[in-house]
Structure 1
Amino acid sequence: MERLGDRVFRQVIGLSGPDDAALADPSDRVGWSLASQGDDLRPGSGWRMRLAYHLLHHSRHGLPFRLSAKLIGLAASRSASHPHGGQNTVEAIARAVAATEDAVGFSDCYPRALLTAWLALAAGNSCVLAIGVLAPTRKLHAWCTVAGVLPFEPVAEHYLYQPAWTITLP
């Protein structure tokens, strides 16, 4: 059986760095999911958020997740003086991400995690990006937590994934 502690397995799924199979999940709970909240009170999504989601979705083909995370941090620091509609609460971040996914017509954990990080950082919150693996498969999942809460997850099943890599962004 393949395990997170197996160096070859970690290389195959694209994770490098310290071998820590006991990495804790940075999220205590899911703040908002489609199962718990449905479509209640979703605001509209602006074209910039939709464009960012598409760009982040396609960035996985050319940028490692660690580099994408650092670029998100830089972009958020440049836009921090422009609070995005008062989205400094976990609920506001969740609603903005849910509205964006609804507007683009698809849901993907990779751009969702990065967009959540950008909104959190731009609002002055720190966050933790995580990548987990569903062992013994090679199925990966990315998520971002703010103050221990995963703001939005369409189906709250991230707990099935063992965190294999995390990074805390200011």
Structure 2
Amino acid sequence: MAQIIREAVKTDCVQMMELIRELALFEKAPEEVSVELSHFEDSGFGDHPVWWALVAEDTNSGKLIGLALYYIRYSTWKGQRLYLEDLIVSEKYRGRGLGKQLFDALLIIAKKQGFRGMVWQALDWNEPALEFYKKYGARLDSEWVNCSLDF
């Protein structure tokens, strides 16, 4: 299998949403994905994008097999930081280094943009993900509690 890591384009959104649904199923929350395709597309490729993404594409089939979606977060203590919303590798393609390629590409983007770091979340039961991040020397924080409101 030949693959490339590249910046996402608007025509990738349908396949990106498929990967997002696959992640939600893996995380035991498939009903939580409620964003509509048109809103997703506009949020990434409209006049005022709020997210950017890298994709891993199987160059033989044109199928997207991985995704790293991120946005800029501002910390009053640290300044601008890259926030990794989702790092997804389709289950069939895991264990081939695609997650590392996507993550390494994000690190390059964050450093080129002059961000002061990178932050993300991982589920406490997702041991493979936690072990992956530990290899980078990531600090796993058990002190903060996630809070959210839905409208």
* TM-score, length basis structure 2: 0.28
Higher helix share: 1
Higher strand share: 2
* TM-score, length basis structure 1: 0.26
